[in-house]
Structure 1
Amino acid sequence: MSWLADAKTELAAERILDAAGELFVRQGVDKPGMDELARAAGCSRATLYRYFENRQALIYAFAHREARLITKQVAGATAYEADPGKRAVDAVVACLAAVRERPHLQAWYAGDSNVLRDVLQESPIIRGSAQSYLTSEDEPSDPDLADWILRIILSFLTNPGEDEEAERRLLERFLSATSRS
C-alpha cells in the first residue's frame, strides 16, 4: 500500500470519528447504532466496518483520539512542575478543563451513560496517559494511582465542584498528600 493510500485511510477514519462525535452530541454515546453512524459519516455500513470492526471499536477509537489531544494539552500544563503532588493536581485540573471545553464530550459524562466509565477502566491507552501525568522518568509507576486519578476525574465530571478553585482545593488536600506516600 502506498503512503497516499495510508493517508486516505486515516482521513476516512477521522471523518467517521468526526461524524460520530456530532451524533454523540445529538443522541448521546449509547444511542446511535452502526447504521446511523454510517449515514452520519456519509458512507455505507460496509465502509464503516472496514475501518471499525464494531461499535465498541469505533467508540474506543473516538475516545483514544480525544485522549491523545487532551494528553498533549495536559502535558503542556504540567511540563515544568517537578513536585509529583503538585504535578498530579495540575494534571487533573488541566484534564477536567480540557474535557469540559469540548462540547462533543459532554455526552460521555452527562446523564446516566456508563460508556466513559467503561472506557476509563478498560483502556490501556487512557490508563497510560493518566500514568504519564503522575510520574517522571526517574519515578516508579503506580497503576493503582492511575486508576484512582481516573476515578477522580470521572467523579468531578459527573459531580462537579462549585468551581475550579473548589475542585483544586480538594485535589490539593487529598491528592498531593496521597501521591507522596
Structure 2
Amino acid sequence: MTAPAAMWQAERNDAAAQRILDTAEGLYAANGVDGVTMRALAAEVGCSRATLYRYFPSREAVQTAFIDRSAARLARRVADSAPSGTAVDRLVTAVTTALRMVRETPAFATWFRADGVATAAQLATVSPVIETLARNFLSGSDQVPHAEERARWLVRVMLSLLTTPGTGVADEERMLRSFVAPVVVG
C-alpha cells in the first residue's frame, strides 16, 4: 500500500471508529453503560458485529475508547475555563467544572448511576487519559512531590463526588478546599 493510500485508509478507519463511539454515546445516554451490548451497538451503527469487532475487540474496548475520548474533550473544555489565581483556586475550579460537565452530559451521567458506577470506577482508575487530566489539575505538577499518586487520589475523590454528591456546589467547593486541596496541591 502506498503512503497516500495508507493515510487515506487510516483516516477512514478513524472516522469509522469515531462514528461508532458517537453512536455508543447516544446508546449510553439512552440505556446506561451496562445496557449497551455489542449486538445493539452494531445494529445502531448499521454494521455487522464482525465489522464492529474489527475496530473494537470487545465491549470493554469500546467503553475504554469512549472514556478516553470523552476525558480528552473534557480536559480541553476545563483548560479553556481555567481561571488564574492560586493553585487551590485553579484546582477547585477545574474539579467543579469537570464535575458539572459530567453531570450535565447525559452520556456521562449514566456512568455514575447504580448500574454503571462499577464500570466507570474501574475504567477511570486505569485510564491514562483520566490520570493525565487529574495531573493537569495539579498546578506545576513537576514540582509537586508524588504528583502521580496525588492525581490518582484526585480521580478517586472525583468519582466519589460523582457517585455521592455533596449537598450542592458550595458544599463540594468547601470540601475540596478544606480536605482535598491541602493534600493534592501540597
Please report the TM-score for the alignment, with normalisation by the length of structure 2: 0.88
Deviations 1:138-167 (A, max 9, x none): 524512211111111111111112221111
Letter in 2 for 1:47: T
Question: Unaligned 5+ residue runs, structure 2?
Answer: none
Q: Quote the Cα distance in structure 2 between the aligned partners of 1:95 and 1:85.
A: 15
Q: Quote the Cα distance in structure 1 between the aligned partners of 2:141 and 2:45.
A: 41
Q: Counterparts of 1:1-181 in structure 2 under 5 Å?
A: 1-78=5-82, 80-81=84-85, 83-113=86-116, 114-136=118-140, 138-140=142-144, 142-181=147-186
Q: Percent identity?
A: 35
Contact 1:29 1:108 in 2 (8 A): yes
Assess, with a 3 A threshold, how the Cα gap between structure 1 residues 179 and 100 changes in structure 2: closer, same or farther. same
Letter in 1 for 2:65: A
Contact 1:96 1:153 in 2 (8 A): yes
Letter in 1 for 2:150: L
Give 3-state SS (helix, strand or coil) of 2:125's partner: helix
Give 3-state SS (helix, strand or coil) of 1:78's partner: coil
Letter in 1 for 2:88: G
Contact 1:85 1:175 in 2 (8 A): no
Q: Quote the Cα distance in structure 1 between the aligned partners of 2:141 and 2:184.
A: 16
Query: How far does residue 71 in structure 1 lie from its aligned partner after superposition?
Result: 0.3
Please report the TM-score for the alignment, with normalisation by the length of structure 1: 0.91
Give 3-state SS (helix, strand or coil) of 2:167's partner: coil
Question: Which contiguous aligned blocks of 4+ residues in structure 1 show a shift greater than 6 angstroms?
Answer: none
Contact 1:88 1:175 in 2 (8 A): no
Contact 2:83 2:93 in 1 (8 A): no
Query: How far does residue 137 in structure 1 lie from its aligned partner after superposition?
Result: 6.2
CA RMSD, 1 decimal: 1.7
Q: Quote the Cα distance in structure 1 between the aligned partners of 2:48 and 2:184.
A: 49
Question: Unaligned 5+ residue runs, structure 1?
Answer: none
Deviations 1:37-62 (A, max 9, x none): 11111111111111111111111000
